[in-house]
Amino acid sequence: MCPPTHFRVTYSINPWMDPAKPVDLPLALAQWEDLRDRYRSLGHTVEELAPRPDLPDMVYAANGATVVDGRVLGARFAHPERTGEAAAHLEWFRAHGYAAVGEPEHVNEGEGDFAVTASWLLAGRGFRSSPLSHLEAQEFFGRPVIGLDLVDPRYYHLDTALCVLDDTTDTEIMYYPGAFSPGSRAALGRLFPDAIIATEPDASALGLNAVSDGHHVVLPQAAAGLFGPLRERGYEPIAMDLSELLKGGGSVKCCTQELRDPGR
């Protein structure tokens, strides 16, 4: 996770951002700290990535890399505003003893577009990550990659439209069908017939930009319609107010890069 320093971004590349609604930086920092502290209260270890003032989007740490079984595939960003973040993330992993670190040839925005189940990588494409990155990730991780086409610009990353609820299985997800092409919706329906289906109001509140540890699901408080279905499945929803971070285009998952390393 990377604390926010300031927000000065190109609004044209992100439909969630509105230049008429300036970010309250102290409140954004307080909300980020609340998320960090909530993870720790749930028993999770949180590593912090030092922010750089010239990289205002580093707070959205999910995009910097993808980690599976201790192997790290770096990011290659679609827009120049974020290019420098890729190296900052890889420097952190190398400094912390990760040996298998790959620098990608093709555009991928980390866990923004890669979601991990027990056996697969679900991979978004259409707005940011290149379809060629899916083949690259499959070769690097040795896992089947299932490509999913995003068609609504509000859901420009997979992590705005889909959340894996239990990465020890290949069955437990929640998603918003309207974000996907007809073929991708059909594929999701076949693969995940028992998925939780989000409504448009909950999806537009970035309710699917959530993080689950297999029991607790940390998600935006505005996505209240997801709380009941999650409880019915045995999950415990944890509501967070990240309204200031939403102004920059992200929420819980965007601020969280998961370090899936069974050896640590």
Write out the two tokens for 82. 């974020």
d(CA 36, CA 13): 27
d(CA 81, CA 238): 32
d(CA 175, CA 192): 10
Is there a catalytic annotation at residue 254?
Answer: yes
d(CA 114, CA 137): 9
Is there a catalytic annotation at residue 163?
Answer: no
Contact 255, 35 (CB under 8 A): yes
Active-site option among 89, 134, 157, 216: 157
- Amino acid letter, residue 11: Y
d(CA 143, CA 91): 25
In Å, the largest CA–CA distance within the chain is 46
Contact 124, 146 (CB under 8 A): no
Put the strands of the sheet holding 173-175 in their side by side order. 162-164, 173-175, 196-197
The candidate with the shortest Cα–Cα distance to 255, out of 110, 12, 61, is 61
Active-site option among 89, 134, 163, 254: 254
Catalytic machinery residues: 157, 254
